[in-house]
Structure 1
Amino acid sequence: MFSLENDQLKINVLQTGAELCGITAVKTGTEFMWHADPDIWGSFAPNLFPIIGALKNNTYFYDNQSYQLPKHGFVRNNAHVKLYQQTKNSLIFTLSSDADLLKSYPFHFEFYITYTLKNNIIEVLHTVKNIDTKTMYFSVGGHPAFKCPVFDNERYDDYVLEFEHLESVKRHHINMENGLISSNTETVLKHSNQIPLTHDLFDKDALVFKDLKSKQVTLKSKTHGAILSVHYEPFPYLGIWAKPTGNYVCIEPWLGVADHEDSNQQLKEKEGIIALDAGKTFEANYRIEIHPKHLA
């Protein structure tokens, strides 16, 4: 495990999967991340690449060949991720294509994830380099799980998620049998900016949003106010999820989305897919801001 620390925050990152596994206030010891209870959900903040969510029949087609990828791709839980560089305020991890990965993903690439700690903000930067001679196709995203409730003597339903703008949006339902996006939608926000957190909110899996105006969402306690905000400017999709029995909430910025039930499974035509030309580099970041009053 690797760590970064300043006078406000300490973060921990596992080498396996380059997974952020702790955000702690230095002065108070308050922990803001889920503790990855394996009996409920044994992850902290998986990194999602080269797909988001599930593929139809776990399969996609590229140039008339079929390939299989697990849900959320192959970075999460990957023991081959390596530390590339560490500085006073940043950690850079990398994973590159190899013979095994080429069997499921036929592109030569370099994937980097950089954690930068600056004051009360953690920046998570995804960098994808296409080192192939052809266009590569991918999605990328985050899956950080935040502790909820954060403080003693609070309950899960003492918390809300508050968007920066009033929203009128629907969630896109996930078929819980296969993990695919269905044609069913449900209005979640109607000229409002708050989603009250309740465990049964996730009885039908994640809340998947495609049309949010907001590029910032705040986890807010009724008694302690704003706890943390996630800023996700480059990301057009957002997932909100938890296991119904888990005291956490995942705020997931996505560049891409799971396959639809009627998907033709063609990688080039997948919703939200990014096409990166040979020799080019792609970058996208989101930021986790811990509100200062919880750091003193």
Structure 2
Amino acid sequence: MNILQNENLIIESSSSGAELTRIFSKKHNRNILWDGNKKHWGRQSPILFPIVGKLLDNETIIEENLYNMTQHGFARDMDFEITNKSDTFISYSLKSNESTLKKYPYSFELLINYTLNDNSTNIEWIVKNTDSKDIFFSIGGHPAFNIPFFEQNGFSKYHLEFKRRNDVEKINLNGSFTDDITFIGDLKNLQLNPELFKNDALIYTNIDEVSICNNDGSKYITLSMLDFPLVGIWTPYYSESNSTAPFLCIEPWYGLADSIHSNKIYKDKKFINKLGKGKIFTTSYSIDIH
């Protein structure tokens, strides 16, 4: 594991998938990030690239050829190279290669940068088009945060607070795929309870900030993702006990699972990103610990 540390936080990340594997708060003497216990979910903060969610039948048509790709793409299961590191910064790189070209026929470089600030971690994504033509891609984050934060509290002792930039829509799921859309308009608070996640993730548009808060009003963490088109909120739901896993994922996305009506053509996917030859896509989000 690769460690960054300051007087408030310790963060660890791995060359495997360029995944963030630990956020430890010295102030609270607690791990903020889920530990990856496979009983519930064996990952912690995977990078989703070059798809977010599932493809219909795990296949897609790119440049008129059919390709197979499993949920959330291949980057999370590949080894990245460390290209730069200091006490408070680390950069990981994944370049297209023989393995990636069998699943995704574009040349690219994907950089994942972690910067440790005072009480926050900034996560930057850079996609470079190294191909001779336009490329298309999706990218997303999937960090999981421990809930309950304090042992005496249960999952339902927490709520979410949102900051939005425009009217919010909720994209509904039908199994693993997207279906109809519900107009929400304003979205300020959402009381957590297990039944919210009966149908998998909650997906919203136009959200710039999500905070996990105790019901007494005190904030736990805030994830800021200015101008991201989508955010997913997810935890595994167990119907037999009407309960959830002891974590909550807040997932900033530039991409979306296939529609149940998908034509399987990759560049027609909703929220797909187009990047011109020689161009660079850059975005970032931050996790603040209160």
Instruction: Give the TM-score, by structure 1 length.
Output: 0.91
Among residues 154, 172, 179, which one is paired with 1:182 in the alignment?
179
Residue by residue over 1:218-269, the C-alpha shift from the partner in whole angstroms, topping out at 9 and shown as x without a partner, is 1101247101101111311110000023011100110011111111111121
1:45 counterpart = 2:51: no
Q: Determine the C-alpha separation between the residues in 1 that align with 2:213 and 2:111.
A: 31
1:167 deviates by 8.3
CA RMSD in angstroms, aligned pairs only: 1.7
| Residue correspondence of structure 1 range 249-288 to structure 2 within 5 A | 249-288=248-287
Amino acid of the residue matched to residue 222 of structure 2? S
Identical aligned residues as a percent: 33
Structure 1 contact 167–193 (Cα < 8 Å) conserved? no
Q: Secondary structure at the match of 2:30?
A: coil
Residue by residue over 1:62-117, the C-alpha shift from the partner in whole angstroms, topping out at 9 and shown as x without a partner, is 22111111111111132x22222111211111111111110110011110100000
Q: Secondary structure at the match of 1:38?
A: coil
Structure 2 contact 34–146 (Cα < 8 Å) conserved? yes
Residue aligning to 1:227:
220
Structure 1 contact 14–21 (Cα < 8 Å) conserved? yes
1:170 deviates by 4.5
Residue aligning to 1:199:
194
Q: Secondary structure at the match of 2:102?
A: helix
Gapped runs of 5+ residues in structure 2?
A: 238-243
Q: Secondary structure at the match of 1:48?
A: coil
Structure 2 contact 168–187 (Cα < 8 Å) conserved? no
Q: Determine the C-alpha separation between the residues in 2 that align with 1:223 and 1:237.
A: 28
Amino acid of the residue matched to residue 63 of structure 1? E
Instruction: Give the TM-score, by structure 2 length.
Output: 0.93
Amino acid of the residue matched to residue 199 of structure 1? P
1:166 deviates by 9.7
1:272 deviates by 0.9
Q: Determine the C-alpha separation between the residues in 1 that align with 2:165 and 2:51.
A: 30
Structure 2 contact 165–208 (Cα < 8 Å) conserved? no
Task: Rate the CA distance shift 1:280–1:149 in 2: closer, same or farther, 3 A.
Answer: same
Residue aligning to 2:6:
6
Structure 1 residue ranges (4+ consecutive) displaced by more than 6 angstroms after TM superposition:
none
Q: Determine the C-alpha separation between the residues in 1 that align with 2:177 and 2:49.
A: 17
Among residues 239, 247, 258, which one is paired with 2:232 in the alignment?
239
1:27 deviates by 4.0
Gapped runs of 5+ residues in structure 1?
A: 292-296
1:191 deviates by 4.3
Task: Rate the CA distance shift 1:268–1:100 in 2: closer, same or farther, 3 A.
Answer: same
Q: Determine the C-alpha separation between the residues in 1 that align with 2:192 and 2:165.
A: 17
Q: Secondary structure at the match of 1:101?
A: helix
Residue aligning to 2:102:
103
Amino acid of the residue matched to residue 75 of structure 1? A
Structure 1 contact 166–193 (Cα < 8 Å) conserved? no
